[in-house]
């Protein structure tokens, strides 16, 4: 009898121990996700503020300056305003498609951040098919835009959704071919492996120098994927009022607004990871090579340096994207499709074949 009691107590204590392990395991999984989402949110707020300040500088006018010091709280004030605005539904539209569309657009982009290596030890999921998972997930965003346009029961909205789908298909193929060329050079689809392959050769080993044609094509295609000027045809105000966003208000419109900047940020991060060496910084004859070698530092300090370098390169590309928006005129729809199908696609395919040939000859 005493032995049975001891066995029962042992089983209970073991079950309690397993429950604690599961609890701490869930906490350990949720904390990195929370930190990542918080960092992404702050990053989007910074991008909105930067775009307003840079556009004001380009157009020689005063940017936001009243909401907080230097207007840094203006984006937060706009988000709060959208949160409390009335949520209007079209009377003859498809309510379910109308409501689900913005969520699909945001969630599909948010999932892509899970494979971004901000540092060598700071990544949510290092997957063996990382870059292709990003392409697969990001291709779902235009589906949400098409659902939104169709569910609005508005011709302008529906045309905007169709344009978004056509534009996404046109530019995802060259973008995928450029990513495939990078994967051939790195012999891996993992984002961490791609960065570490570039770090082996230092500054001149960045894929920016090894794939200059692919870099330019990726740059143009990523701007088109983000629907930034001169590629913002799905929401051209002169032709479509506001495109797929015409019937939206309140927080649903805010989700589209956030999704566009989330997409811009993820594209900039992938430019950094695929072409600019990620968290590594090796500039010849300017710095000590070990100064920014995070492998020579402790875990915490090395991770912080890696995150800082990654974000510095990312925001450099963001500056180029914002300046492009306020510099170039908008294309026509036929010019946009011709650029993707008749120009970028053949060049990206030729770049892939050339990269494959060099890889085969080097074996």
Q: What is the pLDDT of residues 201-223, one digit of tens each?
A: 777 878 988 899 999 999 999 88
Q: How far apart are CA 31 and CA 92, in angstroms?
A: 43
Q: How far apart are CA 45 and CA 75, in angstroms?
A: 6
Instruction: Say what percent of the chain tops pLDDT 70.
Output: 87
Q: What is the pLDDT of residue 215?
A: 93
Lowest model confidence (mean pLDDT) among 21-25, 122-126, 131-135, 250-254: 21-25
Q: What is the pLDDT of residue 347?
A: 94
Q: What is the pLDDT of residue 182?
A: 92
Q: What is the pLDDT of residue 69?
A: 83
Q: Is the pLDDT of residue 3 over 70?
A: no
Query: Exposed/middle/buried for 20, CB within 10 Å: 0-12, 13-18, 19+?
Result: exposed
Q: Is the pLDDT of residue 135 over 60?
A: yes
Q: Is the pLDDT of residue 146 over 50?
A: yes
> What's the pLDDT tens digit per position in 58-110?
888 888 888 878 888 888 888 888 888 888 888 787 888 888 888 888 888 88
Establish whether the linkage from the previous residue to 230 is cis, with ω within 30° of 0: yes
155-186 helix and 250-275 helix, angle to the nearest 10 degrees: 20
pLDDT mean over 44-53: 87
What predicted TM-score, i.e. pTM, was given to this entire model? 0.85
Q: Is the pLDDT of residue 112 over 90?
A: no
Where does the pLDDT of residue 22 fall: very low under 50, low under 70, confident under 90, or very high at 90 and above? low
Q: What is the pLDDT of residue 270?
A: 92
Q: What is the pLDDT of residue 103?
A: 86
The answer to whether the beta carbons of residues 161 and 234 sit under 8 Å apart is yes
């Amino acid at each position: 009898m005493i032995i049975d009691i001891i066995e029962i107590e042992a089983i209970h204590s073991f079950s309690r121990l397993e429950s604690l392990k599961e609890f701490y395991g869930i906490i350990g999984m949720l904390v990195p996700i929370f930190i990542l989402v918080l960092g992404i949110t702050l990053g989007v707020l910074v991008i909105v503020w930067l775009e307003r300040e840079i556009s004001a500088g380009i157009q020689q006018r005063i940017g936001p300056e009243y909401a907080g010091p230097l207007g840094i709280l203006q984006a937060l004030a706009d988000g709060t305003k959208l949160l409390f605005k009335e949520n209007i539904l079209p009377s003859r539209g498809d309510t379910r498609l109308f409501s689900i569309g913005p969520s699909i657009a945001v969630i599909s982009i948010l999932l892509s951040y899970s494979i971004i290596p901000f540092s060598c030890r700071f990544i949510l999921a290092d997957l063996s098919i990382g870059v292709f998972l990003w392409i697969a997930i990001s291709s779902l965003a235009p589906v949400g835009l098409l659902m939104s346009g169709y569910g609005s029961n508005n011709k302008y909205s529906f045309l905007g959704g169709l344009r978004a789908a056509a534009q996404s298909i046109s530019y995802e193929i060259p973008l995928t071919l450029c990513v495939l060329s990078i994967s051939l050079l790195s012999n891996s689809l993992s984002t961490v492996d791609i960065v570490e392959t570039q770090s082996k050769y230092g500054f001149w080993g960045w894929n920016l120098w090894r794939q200059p044609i692919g870099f330019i094509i990726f740059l143009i295609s990523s701007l088109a994927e983000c629907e930034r000027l001169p590629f913002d045809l799905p929401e051209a105000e002169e032709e479509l009022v506001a495109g797929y966003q015409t019937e939206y208000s309140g927080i649903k419109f805010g989700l589209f607004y956030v999704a566009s900047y989330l997409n811009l940020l993820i594209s900039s991060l992938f430019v950094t990871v695929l072409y600019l060496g990620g968290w590594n910084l090796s500039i010849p004859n300017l710095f000590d090579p070990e100064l920014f070698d995070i492998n020579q530092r402790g875990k915490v300090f090395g991770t912080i340096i890696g995150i800082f370098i990654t974000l510095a390169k990312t925001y450099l590309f963001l500056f180029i994207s914002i300046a492009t928006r306020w510099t170039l005129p908008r294309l026509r729809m036929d010019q946009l499709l011709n650029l993707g199908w008749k120009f970028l696609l053949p060049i990206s395919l030729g770049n892939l074949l050339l990269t494959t040939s060099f890889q085969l000859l080097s074996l």
